[in-house]
Structure 1
Amino acid sequence: MQKRSKYLSAFLVTLFSSSLAFASGIVLKLGHIAEKTNPYAMGADHFAELVKKKSNGEIEIKVFPSSQLGAQKELIEGLIYGTVDMTLTGTAELGTFQPQMAIFDMPFLFKDRAHAYKALDTVGMELGKPLEAKGIKLLGYMENGIRHVTNNVRPVKSPADMKGLKVRVMNNKVYVEMVKALGASPTPMAFSELYSALQQGTVDGQENPSAHIFTKRFYEVQKYASLTGHAYAPEPVLISMMAWKKLTPAQQEIIQSAANEAIAWQRQLSEKEDQAFWEKIKATGKIEVIDVDRKPFMEATQSVYKQLAKTVGQSNIDKIKALEK
């Protein structure tokens, strides 16, 4: 009897210790709107793996893709109110909460990807600091990709071909003014509603990177894709300040270190996959992919800088342009 009691006590101690270990584990929910095969969705998964490895399983990031936790606006609000711990979201949507962040969506802002990365890792991190007072911490920027126009009405080879087209845009003044400057009619709409809107003809077209055009199967409901490359789309990695403050300094360091590694990994993947996605899109035979002279598009959208320089900050534009060299 005494021996059984001894074993029972040992079992209870083990069970209690395991329960404590389980209770001490941290689970963070990360939501985004992309399909799992999108490069930044893969970046989110890679980040989760790195956090688990670096924390020896103490911190678990549960990733919810495909708008499972809401649209971008809802995800950002979730960070502020603490209902979502982390998200990857576009700077365009983030710009509705911190206007200067929308600078990275300005038309033809970057010379190339190297210029974009340099600007994001310096000016971009500085512009992210005011978000902390609003309940959001910026860990860095992954990449969504380079944006292009698709539509169902006619081949777009110049801004004149955009006249009268109803084009879905994110709910952001930069994209609204950019599409207006190109002669089209901007229609703000949640990303989750876009496929059916294209299918039903609610809008004629949209603009997105190749990864979304392929993984969201927009090529099924669009006839023409024009390689306008009119904007670069970063994908900020964000954590709720509520969640961040619950972490110890050592745990915060693990999260930031994993984010840095995942961002570098994801950027390489995104660049590599961009061309591969275009090859897959062409291989479907369902959409015509058109090369365009980008210069007329650049000239047509210069007015956006005059309209929004005050909003995003002329000094910030100057700092980014200076990094081009």
Structure 2
Amino acid sequence: MRPIAALAAAALLVLPIRAAAQTAPDVVKLATLVPDGSVWDKALKGMGAEWTAATQGRVALHIYPGGVTGDEPDIVRKMRIGQIHAAALTIVGLSQIDDSFRVFQIPMFFQSYPELFTVIDRMEPEFKKRLEAKGFVLLNWGHGGWVHLFTRTPVRDIDELKRLKIFVWAGDDRAVQMWKANGFTPVALASTDILPALQTGMIDALPSPPLAANLLQWYRKAPYMADVGLGPLAGALVMTKSAWGRIAPADQAAILGACKKAEARLERDIPGQDSTSVTEMSKRGLTVVHIAPAQAAAWRATAESFAAQLREKTVPKDIMDLAERERAAYRKGRR
């Protein structure tokens, strides 16, 4: 009888342990380059709190902001080996997963936020399908603002820009080659190295949304901003399919709902941050450089050259065709 009693006692001890294990939250590790305390970081933290509340504590989000886990190519690599479960990525990181996202790298392809948001909504099913084929799940879209060129000296025409050293994301070799093919001098760096590189003269120019240039103080060493917008800095929140599969279907639905709320908040708040950031930086030394119409035409011609190369060598044809078709439909509807 003693062995039976011992087994029964052991069973009673094990049951509470198992019950406790079942109530422990599934912690999702999310990496991102967004600065700690920024509007994007606050959106992610608010979304994480909603995940926990909506799943009654079954899923928790742990955020690693500010590039502490590495640049975006490093983050994607760590996701593939299971060290990181999710990431809020820009197009640089997303294009490491699938080249279709490079359609958002085409300069001057989009003319406005409403146009961008509409085209993204219509193309979303295709992007989801492509990500899932690569082992990832699309949770929502993010927006970083409209990119402008910040430089150490005033730049008005393309020839002046070609004499400068321009920041390009490290790990994006295709972008490096494309800049070189168009007569520019790209310098590939991690995003965390931008400010030191500006301080030492390693780079003279960088494309950035005003909000990022303001938050990260890049404008203090690159105090001239061309008033020609180059395009949106789009991004997305993705999770590995293996991590997503651990979450119960009902909780997945709750998480997606929270993600869409965060996306809507960024769509509402980020566009206004562009002009607000320019105003704030202008009070502290930023000079907005006006690009005359004749010079702007040369900028657009260069953008078309980039677009042609992306169409030919990088962006899948069906994605390029779909983006152009949806953009044309939007513009036709706006007439």
TM range (shorter): 0.7 to 0.9
Please show how residues 56-95 of structure 1 align to structure 2 within 5 Å.
56-95=56-95
Amino acid at match of 2:307: Y
What RMSD, in angstroms, separates the aligned Cα atoms of the two structures?
A: 2.5
Q: Deviations over 1:241-279 (max 9, x none)?
A: 121011111121122111111101112111122221111
Pick from 309, 322, 333 the counterpart of residue 319 of structure 1.
322
Distance 1:296 1:177, change over 3 A: farther
User: How far has the Cα of 1:48 moved from its partner?
Assistant: 0.9
Per the alignment, residue 146 of structure 1 pairs with 146
Please show how residues 40-51 of structure 1 align to structure 2 within 5 Å.
40-51=40-51
Moved more, 113-122 or 293-302: 293-302
Amino acid at match of 2:210: S
Determine helix, strand or coil for the equivalent of 2:139. strand
User: How far has the Cα of 1:16 moved from its partner?
Assistant: 4.1
Please show how residues 79-228 of structure 1 align to structure 2 within 5 Å.
79-152=79-152, 154-170=153-169, 171-172=171-172, 175-176=175-176, 179-180=179-180, 183-228=183-228
TM-score (norm 2): 0.85
Tell me how far apart the structure 1 counterparts of residues 174 and 113 of structure 2 sit (CA, whole Å): 20
Tell me how far apart the structure 1 counterparts of residues 173 and 113 of structure 2 sit (CA, whole Å): 24
Determine helix, strand or coil for the equivalent of 2:83. coil
Q: Deviations over 1:94-135 (max 9, x none)?
A: 213311211111111112111111122221441242222332
User: How far has the Cα of 1:312 moved from its partner?
Assistant: 0.7
Amino acid at match of 1:20: A
Per the alignment, residue 304 of structure 2 pairs with 302
Tell me how far apart the structure 1 counterparts of residues 183 and 33 of structure 2 sit (CA, whole Å): 29
Structure 2 residues without counterparts, runs of 5 or longer: 1-11
User: How far has the Cα of 1:174 moved from its partner?
Assistant: 6.5
Tell me how far apart the structure 2 counterparts of residues 76 and 128 of structure 1 sit (CA, whole Å): 17
Amino acid at match of 2:167: R
Amino acid at match of 2:297: K
Distance 1:177 1:21, change over 3 A: same
Determine helix, strand or coil for the equivalent of 1:156. coil
Per the alignment, residue 282 of structure 2 pairs with 282
Distance 1:283 1:16, change over 3 A: farther
Tell me how far apart the structure 2 counterparts of residues 38 and 180 of structure 1 sit (CA, whole Å): 33
Structure 1 residues without counterparts, runs of 5 or longer: 1-11
Amino acid at match of 1:308: L
Tell me how far apart the structure 2 counterparts of residues 229 and 280 of structure 1 sit (CA, whole Å): 18
Amino acid at match of 1:299: A
Tell me how far apart the structure 2 counterparts of residues 244 and 233 of structure 1 sit (CA, whole Å): 26
8 Å CA contact retained: 2:136, 2:238 = yes
Distance 1:282 1:58, change over 3 A: same
Tell me how far apart the structure 2 counterparts of residues 279 and 52 of structure 1 sit (CA, whole Å): 37
Tell me how far apart the structure 2 counterparts of residues 72 and 210 of structure 1 sit (CA, whole Å): 20
8 Å CA contact retained: 1:47, 1:262 = yes
Amino acid at match of 2:34: A
Please show how residues 222-237 of structure 1 align to structure 2 within 5 Å.
222-237=222-237
Tell me how far apart the structure 2 counterparts of residues 103 and 172 of structure 1 sit (CA, whole Å): 14
Amino acid at match of 1:146: W
8 Å CA contact retained: 2:176, 2:186 = yes
Tell me how far apart the structure 2 counterparts of residues 290 and 166 of structure 1 sit (CA, whole Å): 18
User: How far has the Cα of 1:51 moved from its partner?
Assistant: 1.1
Determine helix, strand or coil for the equivalent of 1:259. helix
Report the identity percentage. 21
